[in-house]
């Protein structure tokens, strides 16, 4: 995938490159234009009524040598504006300007959006296929409106707030004109492929889509080597749905650095992406969960999918694959236990050598063994003993969780 990158800080914006414009009157056609004007003059004179004001004016123009007015049919017309390509490959499924949040989410559940693409193929570091499948099959509550307090610390919320700012500074820096699409777009051949564009770049042959991103100090580390893979897949999904050739990703890092990355259309990647997304959508249509991938997201999804046990015992000894998986798990657990014991032996050896020292240095690094500041903790046992009625007032019931225990 081709990426071109440049960045700037708001304090020192780079000068924008001029936008190329179509030349309507080429120089090599000057003589032809003069001939057309002369022919138009003769045609107008011939049509004028003898003795009329029009005939008198045209006679005066011809005698003075001034250029004659050009007939409406002979005027050079501006070529029609090229049609937006997404209207050829994608259709506007619904106008988003009149949609509320619940309706918008309901439509998104009917297919794979561009922000779902990486999770659908198992390459999103924050969301697994299993968690996305639960959302698409309505096994999780995605319609819950976040509280005002939650919004204060939500990256998604601040990304939406800062999106117009990022788009505005992108336009200022590049000189390109951008505008909202205000629609959910749908692939004409694969109706389960949907896309919401942050902005479209208007009248530019080099780039047609703008994706706006924000990243805090922690998230900025993912952009050190360029556009993260999950964002590349999001943009490639947009290019697949719209049929466009290139997109710019404008990302605001740490609130003070704007980077702009160019992503070109890759037909081989799009073909593979569509095939993998089709596999995931088959899981949704068949209402069959995809395999868990060992991520934290998959762990959360499994706990949400199976929150309680029913007390039943099942015999899986006849399943060769699962029996081998259990043997492998036992071996991994034993390896981890042995590694933990080895870690403690090495740790204790070094602590014993340090004694009361705060810091120890080595050719490959250093160790610190420092006392933390004292803290005050509530003595809940004493409080319960002295004020049982008061404690009972503040007791809250919390659902239990299932423990996964491995036995020999």
Instruction: Let me know whether 136 and 44 are in one domain.
Output: no
pLDDT tens for the 408 residues of the chain, in order: 656 655 544 443 333 333 332 223 333 444 444 445 444 444 445 555 565 545 555 555 455 454 555 444 444 454 444 444 454 578 888 888 888 878 878 888 889 999 999 999 999 999 999 999 999 998 887 666 667 776 676 677 777 888 999 999 999 999 999 999 999 999 999 999 999 999 999 989 999 999 999 988 888 888 998 999 999 999 999 999 999 999 999 999 988 899 999 999 999 999 999 999 999 999 999 999 999 999 999 999 999 898 888 999 999 999 999 999 999 999 999 999 999 999 999 999 999 999 999 999 999 999 999 999 999 999 999 999 999 999 999 988 888 888 898 887
Q: Give the pLDDT score at 48.
A: 54
Within 10 angstroms of residue 160's Cβ, the number of other Cβ atoms is: 14
Instruction: Let me know whether 40 and 121 are in one domain.
Output: no
The β-bridge partners of 91 are: 186
CA distance 5 to 322: 47
CA distance 367 to 127: 35
Q: Domain with 184 in it: what CATH number?
A: 3.90.320.10
Q: Give the pLDDT score at 51.
A: 55
Instruction: Let me know whether 126 and 204 are in one domain.
Output: yes
Instruction: Let me know whether 111 and 165 are in one domain.
Output: yes
Instruction: Let me know whether 174 and 63 are in one domain.
Output: no
Residue with tokens 């056609």: 29
Instruction: Let me know whether 204 and 60 are in one domain.
Output: no
Last residue of a domain, one of 269, 286, 303: 286
Please tell me what DSSP assigns to residue 17: P
Yes or no: say if 116 and 133 are a contact pair by the CB < 8 Å rule. no
Instruction: Let me know whether 251 and 124 are in one domain.
Output: yes
The reply to whether 185 falls in a domain is: yes
Instruction: Let me know whether 36 and 116 are in one domain.
Output: no
Q: Given its phi and psi angles, is residue 235 left (phi above 0), alpha (psi -120 to 50 degrees) or beta?
A: alpha
The reply to whether 203 falls in a domain is: yes
Burial of 237 by CB count in 10 Å (0-12 exposed, 13-18 middle, 19+ buried)?
buried
Instruction: Let me know whether 215 and 249 are in one domain.
Output: yes
Last residue of a domain, one of 252, 286, 320: 286
Beta strands in 176-330 (DSSP E): 177-179, 183-187, 194-195, 199-202, 209-215, 246-253, 257-264
Q: Give the pLDDT score at 174.
A: 94
Domain span at residue 45 reads 30-77
CA distance 333 to 306: 23
Residues 6+ apart with CB under 8 A from 172: 13, 16
Last residue of a domain, one of 264, 286, 308: 286
CA distance 218 to 231: 16
The reply to whether 297 falls in a domain is: no
**CB environment 242-262: b (16+ within 10 A), e (fewer):** bbbebbbbbbbbeeeebbbbb
Instruction: Let me know whether 130 and 230 are in one domain.
Output: yes
The reply to whether 306 falls in a domain is: no
The reply to whether 117 falls in a domain is: yes
Instruction: Let me know whether 211 and 188 are in one domain.
Output: yes
The reply to whether 59 falls in a domain is: yes
The reply to whether 6 falls in a domain is: no
Please tell me what DSSP assigns to residue 263: E
The reply to whether 242 falls in a domain is: yes
Instruction: Provide DSSP, 267-308.
Output: HHHHHHHHHHHHHHHHHHHHT-PPPP-SSHHHHHHHHHHS--
Instruction: Let me know whether 90 and 69 are in one domain.
Output: no
Give the total number of structural domains in the chain.
Answer: 2
């Amino acid at each position: 995938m081709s990426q071109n990158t440049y960045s700037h800080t708001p304090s020192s914006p780079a000068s924008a490159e001029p936008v190329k414009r179509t030349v309507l009157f080429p120089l090599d056609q000057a003589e032809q234009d003069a001939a057309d004007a002369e022919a138009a003059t003769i045609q107008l004179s011939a049509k004028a009524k003898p003795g009329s004001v029009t005939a008198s004016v045209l006679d005066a123009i011809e005698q003075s040598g001034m250029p004659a007015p050009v007939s409406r049919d002979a005027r050079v017309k501006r070529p029609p504006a090229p049609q937006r390509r997404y209207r050829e490959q994608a259709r506007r499924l619904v106008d988003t300007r009149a949609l509320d949040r619940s309706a918008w989410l309901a439509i998104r559940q009917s297919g794979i959006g561009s922000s779902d693409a990486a999770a659908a193929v198992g390459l999103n570091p924050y969301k697994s296929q299993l968690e996305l499948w639960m959302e698409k099959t309505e096994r999780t509550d995605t319609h819950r409106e976040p509280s005002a307090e939650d919004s204060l610390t939500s990256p998604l919320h601040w990304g939406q707030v800062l999106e117009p700012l990022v788009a505005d500074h992108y336009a200022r820096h590049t000189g390109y004109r951008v505008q909202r699409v205000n629609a959910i777009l749908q692939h004409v051949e694969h109706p389960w492929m949907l896309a919401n564009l942050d902005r479209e770049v208007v009248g530019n042959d080099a780039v047609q889509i703008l994706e706006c991103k924000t990243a805090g100090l922690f998230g900025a580390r993912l952009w050190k080597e360029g556009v993260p893979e999950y964002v590349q897949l999001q943009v490639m999904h947009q290019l697949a749905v719209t049929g466009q050739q290139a997109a710019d990703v404008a990302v605001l890092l740490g609130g003070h650095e704007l980077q702009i990355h160019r992503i070109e259309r890759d037909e081989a990647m799009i073909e593979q992406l569509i095939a993998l997304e089709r596999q995931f959508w088959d899981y949704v249509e068949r209402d069959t969960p995809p395999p868990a991938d060992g991520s934290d997201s998959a762990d959360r999804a499994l706990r949400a999918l199976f929150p309680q046990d029913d007390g039943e015992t099942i015999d899986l000894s006849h399943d060769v694959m699962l029996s081998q998986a259990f043997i492998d798990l036992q071996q991994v657990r034993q390896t981890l236990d042995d590694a933990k014991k080895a870690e403690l032996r090495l740790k204790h050896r070094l602590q014993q050598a340090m004694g009361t020292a705060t810091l120890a240095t080595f050719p490959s690094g250093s160790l610190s063994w420092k006392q933390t500041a004292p803290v005050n903790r509530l003595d809940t046992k004493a409080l319960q003993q002295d004020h049982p009625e008061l404690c009972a007032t503040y007791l809250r019931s919390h659902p239990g969780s299932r423990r996964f225990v491995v036995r020999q």
